[in-house]
Amino acid sequence: MIIQSIKTRVFKEGDNLLTFITDHCKKIPEKSIIVITSKIVALAEGRTAILSSLADKEKLIRAESDFALPTKYVWLTVKDGAVMTSAGIDESNANGKFILLPKNGFKTAHSLRNALKRKYHVKDLGVLITDSRTIPFRGGSAGIALGYAGFRGVKDYRGKPDIFGKKLKLSKTDAADSLAAAAVLVMGEGNERQPLAIVKRAPIEFRDRVDRKELHIDIREDVYLPIFSKLSKRSI
């Protein structure tokens, strides 16, 4: 797999996202994935806010969350079926504003894919919109998929044999988040000014329709739920 990050001008709020991509990507090969950081998607949508107090920030976080819990360090929230801090609201690289998450990453990825397929005359093309998240018990953050189109987000090994011929029962690979993590590592998260990347030779299955629920696990079925319900009483 080859990931090529793309140096760009600074994307400004209200800029046209499709024009920005085509200005900086002169060619997108067949069977490639165009990766786009969620910040420029949000800026294109005008998803920003100016907050003058902590009360304003709390109000916005609650409005953007399905569930919000204040803690010693951050707000822990659930939004769009995922756990994150502060509902994804970020003030880095925002020029004094707060940037929210895009309205609908999957819908945007689908629309961009259709337009980019026409522009570059390709049949198999993936679009991946990324964000960064912290991981429990791990320092730092890693890329995660906010929305994607044109490829299967989960690689399913169930029913297939392992190297000794035993059939796998539970094994699935989170292809969408794995691609996002690899791309974000190359694109950077500071002042690199590389909000786009092209992924070539990715081991994924291209397809026209995407099931946006394929990565979702109901909280009642999450294998980690029992341990988190016990940890508050222990010191790790």
Residue 112 sits in a domain whose CATH number is 3.30.1330.100
> Looking at 70, 100, 130, which one is the last position of a domain?
100
The answer on 110 and 92 residing in a single domain is no
How many domains does the chain contain in total? 2
**CB neighbour class for 125 (10 Å; exposed up to 12, middle 13-18, buried from 19):** buried
With respect to residue 197, please indicate whether it lies within any of the assigned structural domains.
Answer: yes
Of 219 and 232, the structure prediction assigns the larger pLDDT to 219
pLDDT, position 232: 58
Whether this model's pTM surpasses 0.85: yes
The answer on 210 and 170 residing in a single domain is yes
With respect to residue 173, please indicate whether it lies within any of the assigned structural domains.
Answer: yes
With respect to residue 219, please indicate whether it lies within any of the assigned structural domains.
Answer: yes
Residue 145 has pLDDT above 60, yes or no: yes
**In which band, very low, low, confident or very high, does the pLDDT at 120 lie, cut at 50, 70 and 90?**
very high
25-49 tens-digit pLDDT: 999 999 999 999 999 999 999 999 9
> Looking at 60, 83, 100, which one is the last position of a domain?
100
Rounded-to-10 torsion of CA 37, 39, 181, 205: -40
The answer on 120 and 172 residing in a single domain is yes
**In which band, very low, low, confident or very high, does the pLDDT at 218 lie, cut at 50, 70 and 90?**
confident
Cα 21 to the center of its chain, rounded Å? 17
The answer on 174 and 138 residing in a single domain is yes
Task: Report residue 226 as tokens.
Answer: 């029992």
189-214 tens-digit pLDDT: 999 999 999 999 999 999 999 999 99
pLDDT, position 233: 55
Of 30 and 90, the structure prediction assigns the larger pLDDT to 30
pLDDT, position 231: 66
Calculate mean pLDDT across residues 7-14: 96
The answer on 110 and 87 residing in a single domain is no
With respect to residue 160, please indicate whether it lies within any of the assigned structural domains.
Answer: yes
Q: How many whole angstroms separate alpha carbon 89 and alpha carbon 209?
A: 29
The answer on 86 and 155 residing in a single domain is no
Share of the chain above pLDDT 90, in %: 77
What is the DSSP-derived secondary structure letter of residue 168? P
**CB neighbour class for 101 (10 Å; exposed up to 12, middle 13-18, buried from 19):** buried
With respect to residue 172, please indicate whether it lies within any of the assigned structural domains.
Answer: yes
The arrangement of strands across the sheet holding 32-37 comes to 2-6, 196-200, 32-37, 125-135, 138-149
Share of the chain above pLDDT 70, in %: 97
The answer on 75 and 116 residing in a single domain is no
The answer on 215 and 137 residing in a single domain is yes
Helix (H) or strand (E) holding 200: strand 196-200
Residue 65 has pLDDT above 80, yes or no: yes
Q: 93 lies in which domain range?
A: 48-100
The pLDDT mean for the chain works out to 93
The answer on 92 and 69 residing in a single domain is yes
The answer on 131 and 38 residing in a single domain is yes
Task: Report residue 1 as tokens.
Answer: 């797999």
Calculate mean pLDDT across residues 94-107: 93
The answer on 52 and 18 residing in a single domain is no
Q: Which of 19-23, 41-45, 216-220 is predicted with the least confidence, judged by mean pLDDT? A: 216-220
Roughly what angle, to the nearest 10 degrees, separates helices 105-120 and 17-24? 50
With respect to residue 20, please indicate whether it lies within any of the assigned structural domains.
Answer: yes
With respect to residue 236, please indicate whether it lies within any of the assigned structural domains.
Answer: no
> Looking at 85, 100, 115, which one is the last position of a domain?
100
The answer on 62 and 11 residing in a single domain is no
Do 101 and 123 form a contact (C-beta atoms < 8 A)? no
